[in-house]
Structure 1
Amino acid sequence: MTDQEIIKAISKVDGLGGMTVNERLFVCGLMNEFDKALTDDRSKAKKILDFLGLDKPSIDKIVR
């Protein structure tokens, strides 16, 4: 997925702030994309979490 496609998927969902990271990934349809990025492209995985509204310290803990 491109950055634009990821942002579009996220923008369709309201109330992400009250969800866990896994819930955010699931409701946005990004679970598989994120899992693949964790294996193949860590910078993309970080970008997805940033787009989902996570702060940098949280992102760094998840993506090592």
Structure 2
Amino acid sequence: MTLETIYQKANGVIGIDGMTVNERLYVSGLIDIFDQSKRDDKELAKTILKALKVDQKSIEKII
């Protein structure tokens, strides 16, 4: 999956500010690629969370 596709999916989520991280991942359709990248490519996992507007402190705890 390209970075462009990740950002398109993330930007397509309506009401993202009121959602948990898991809700953001599920609604955006990025949950499977995130789970895989969390194991295999931590930088990609961080990029996905940034695209979903997760704050840096939370990203550090999650990754």
Aligned to 2:57: 57
Following superposition, the deviation at residue 55 of structure 1 comes to 1.0
Consecutive unaligned residues of structure 2, counting only runs of 5 or more, are: none
Following superposition, the deviation at residue 27 of structure 1 comes to 0.3
Provide the identity percentage.
48
TM-score (norm 1): 0.94
Number of residue pairs matched by the alignment: 63
Q: Deviations over 1:7-61 (max 9, x none)?
A: 1111211110100000000000000010000011001001100110011111000
Consecutive unaligned residues of structure 1, counting only runs of 5 or more, are: none
Aligned to 1:48: 48
* Superposed CA RMSD: 0.6
